[in-house]
Amino acid sequence: MNIALGSDHAGFAYKEDLKAHLAALGHTVRDFGAFGPASSDYPDFAVPVARAVAAGEADRGVLICGTGIGMSISANKVPGVRAAVLSDPTSTRLSRSHNDANVACFGSRTQRLEDVKTLLALWLGTAFEGGRHASRVDKIRAIEPTAAGDGCPGRTVNGGTCTEA
């Protein structure tokens, strides 16, 4: 699998370990930085990873910051990305099987590295179920902003849902 990998300064050490770990498992890893432990801003790494996933240049993305939350918020601004903070086996499995999450986010300040590796293996090995879940993911795609910034092209937003104008 082709994996886009990124971190800020807080996640740098975990990223370096995960890069070697994923490569040893046979994955192709593209490192988007950070390239050192100096203070850095998580959006600077989350967005390029997310864009690579959305463009099909990577099958999945993995992001690490202090909590995973900043990376997730940033990555989810990119249309086509469904980033999830993974903290336990159930939400990890369901993020893939039900939500088709394509970017995993972790926190170096809130999770042990060995737990991250376990969750990452579960996430990478879980397939999207499709079926009724596919229609739900399609609804997410329908509200994603277009290049013009309009989440409901040709329609209006009414109570959080798109309706015909």
**Position 144 in a domain:** no
**Position 156 in a domain:** no
In angstroms, rounded to a whole number, what is the distance separating the alpha carbons of residues 61 and 6? 8
pLDDT at 68 over 50: yes
- The CATH number of whichever domain residue 24 belongs to comes to 3.40.1400.10
User: What is the CB neighbour count within 10 angstroms for residue 124?
Assistant: 18
pLDDT band for 158, please (50, 70, 90 cuts).
Answer: very low
Q: Supply 121's token pair.
A: 């293996």
**Position 136 in a domain:** no
Domain extent, residue 112, equals 2-129
Report CA torsion sign: 142, 79, 97, 157. negative
**Position 148 in a domain:** no
Q: How many domains does the chain have?
A: 1
**Position 146 in a domain:** no
- In sequence order, the β-bridge partners of residue 105 are 63, 85
pLDDT at 163 over 70: no
Q: What is the pLDDT of residues 113-152, one digit of tens each?
A: 999 999 999 999 999 988 899 888 988 888 886 544 555 5
Q: What is the pLDDT of residues 70-125, one digit of tens each?
A: 999 999 999 999 999 999 999 999 999 999 999 999 999 999 999 999 999 999 99
Residue 152's pLDDT is what? 53
**Position 55 in a domain:** yes
Q: Which amino acid is at 131?
A: G
Catalytic residues: 65, 98
Query: What is the value of pTM for the model shown?
Result: 0.88
**Position 76 in a domain:** yes
Residue 145's pLDDT is what? 67
Residue 71's pLDDT is what? 99
Contacts (Cβ under 8 Å, ≥6 apart) of 32: 4, 5, 6, 45, 48, 49, 52
**Position 150 in a domain:** no
Which among 39, 53, 56 has a CA at the least distance from the CA of 84? 53
